[in-house]
Structure 1
């Protein structure tokens, strides 16, 4: 870990500033939208725009990098983010906010690709896994720290938006002055969604549903808090524990994933999430117990993403894993774009309880479908199963590929534990 910090501390520091700014953005807009009197259905457009921009960015940014290089792409995109954060405060209008969220999502898709490419290039084969882990921790700590900063000024004013913009601006020097030339960025071959579904129906269905979950827990949480009548500190704490839960639960779930039939783990986690959120729907938690709910919701949702990709990889050759991951990232993005609209409609029709009802339905559907898939084909044996690659939902294709490579290397070094009670099978239907 010391070696990673020695070579990459400036890049990680810059990413910390970026993540604090981005973490403030989503929560602050939800709070400010409530102050401005925006309905949940209106805020759905604003929150959904980020995921749409991010999805477009993951498909376009490769061409930009190939044309002008990593440094120019990073400088241009980060500058646009800093400008967008200031423009949020210029006029509290839904159309402007949605346009700026679209731009910010697009820019962060490129920023993640560039930063993760640089981090990968600065790491050796021996330190790549540590670098990725430290990068994940820095991102999560940045987002959690951002929630605390929301209490330093009035969300109805301009100060918090200025802080967000300044944080992005001060991220430039440590990243740009320390970054070595990154290797040429190349995209992997594409896999059609039809091919991907035939390989792993559960991976596709689960990833789409999980995109909707992410839209709720990472996008609409502050809108829910505003509708619930929570104050700024309570909303910030609720969002923070969601991320903290995801960080804490990533490792134990990953270890369990490599030792059992992943479908049992997927079904168990989503069934637990469905039960928890159903309870919150019928017996709404108070401000304190809401933190417990938020921790476990984040703890279930965050690791599920990597778990579903690992399960899909169980039925793939290593050469096809990157293409499949790209397809799953796209499916997840589609689910995230549609999620805020459903949540906004449910909260308008049902009140704040519609937020948890939405999560309960999605978790429940994945649990039922995972159980159904267990009746259609056997799980691969422990010797052929892929290893769990830990990464965050906002990871770019670069981080996903690096995580999979690191997980595969570790599995080869340590040996694959046998998965009890399974036989390999080839049936897809």
Structure 2
């Protein structure tokens, strides 16, 4: 870990500042939208714009990089992010905000692709898994730190929009001045969605549903807080709890994943997340209940993303894992686009707690489907599964490819050891 930090500290520092900027604007818009009088459904459209742009950026960024290079793409997209962050308070209109969120999502996706390709190039086969884990910690730390900035100024003013713009601008300096030579960007042959679904129906359905759950958390948590009458400080603590849960529980769940039936663990994690979503509905009006719920939902949904990818990998040949990445990301991205919109509709119909009702329905639905799939075929044994690799649902295709490389490397090593033992 120290070796990774020493070689990539500038890149990781820059990415943390970027995540602070992204985390501030995501929560701040949810609060500011309420102050501007936007309806819950209007805010859900605004928030879904980010995921539309993110999915488009994950597709377009590799083409842009191959055309003009990493540095130009990184600098250009970063400039757009910084500019749009300042424009939000200047034009308080939900449709303009939606367009700006699409741009922000597109640019952040491209920036992630560029930065993560640098990180992947700097890593070796021996430390790639540690590099990915450290990158995940940096991402989550940045988002959690961002919530603390919300209490430093009035969300009705301009300061909280200027601060993330400045942080994003500053973040490019350590990255562009210190990174290693730009790597070659290679694309892998994809796998059709039909093939993916045939290989792992549970994995595909799970990633689609999880896209809706994660985007509801990332896009609508602050909107929920505003509708529920929470103070700015309470909203920042509530949103932070989601990501703290994701960091704290990621590795214990990953440890268990390598030592037990992975599908059974998916069902346990999903069931806990579903049960947690019912707590605010059964015990309304209690802030401490909201914090426990946020911690558990974040702590279950974030590791669940990596669990589902690992579960799909358990049914793939090593040569097909990289090809499956783009399809898995696309499925998750489609669910993410729909998540905020359906959440907004549910909150409009049921009130603020519709936020939890929506996530609860999704998690219970995944639990039911997983139980049914358990009757259709046996899960791979623990000895046949590869290692769990921690990764965030907000990761770009490059980070997912990194995770697949780690999975392939560890699986290959285990195969070699098994073959060696058999010949002795």
TM-score normalised over the length of structure 1: 0.94
Aligned CA distance change for structure 1 residues 200 and 285 (closer, same or farther; 3 Å): farther
Q: State whether residues 27 and 147 of structure 1, in contact with CA within 8 Å, keep that contact through their aligned partners in structure 2.
A: yes
For 1:26-425, what aligned pairs fall within 5 Å after superposition?
26-410=26-410, 413=413
Distance 2:244 2:226 in 1: 21
Q: State whether residues 140 and 243 of structure 1, in contact with CA within 8 Å, keep that contact through their aligned partners in structure 2.
A: yes
SS of equivalent to 1:168: helix
The structural deviation recorded for 1:415 is 8.0
Aligned CA distance change for structure 1 residues 416 and 216 (closer, same or farther; 3 Å): farther
- From the two aligned structures, give the one with the greater helix fraction: 2
Aligned CA distance change for structure 1 residues 307 and 416 (closer, same or farther; 3 Å): farther
The structural deviation recorded for 1:285 is 4.8
Moved over 6 A (4+): 414-418
Question: More displaced, 265-274 or 202-211?
Answer: 265-274
CA deviation vs aligned residue, 1:344-402 (integer Å, no higher than 9, x gap): 11111110111111111000000011110010001122333232121111111111121
Gaps of 5+ in 2: 419-424
Distance 1:91 1:355 in 2: 27
RMSD: 1.7
Q: State whether residues 117 and 183 of structure 2, in contact with CA within 8 Å, keep that contact through their aligned partners in structure 1.
A: yes
Distance 1:181 1:135 in 2: 19
The structural deviation recorded for 1:260 is 1.7
Distance 2:235 2:303 in 1: 23
The structural deviation recorded for 1:405 is 2.1
Gaps of 5+ in 1: 419-429
CA deviation vs aligned residue, 1:200-244 (integer Å, no higher than 9, x gap): 110111111101101111110000000000010000111101001
Work out the number of aligned pairs and report it.
418
Question: More displaced, 119-128 or 38-47?
Answer: 119-128
Aligned residue number for residue 421 of structure 2: none
The structural deviation recorded for 1:411 is 5.0
Structure 1 residue 12 and structure 2 residue 12: aligned?
yes
Question: More displaced, 78-87 or 280-289?
Answer: 280-289
Distance 2:194 2:124 in 1: 37
Q: State whether residues 347 and 353 of structure 1, in contact with CA within 8 Å, keep that contact through their aligned partners in structure 2.
A: yes
TM-score normalised over the length of structure 2: 0.95
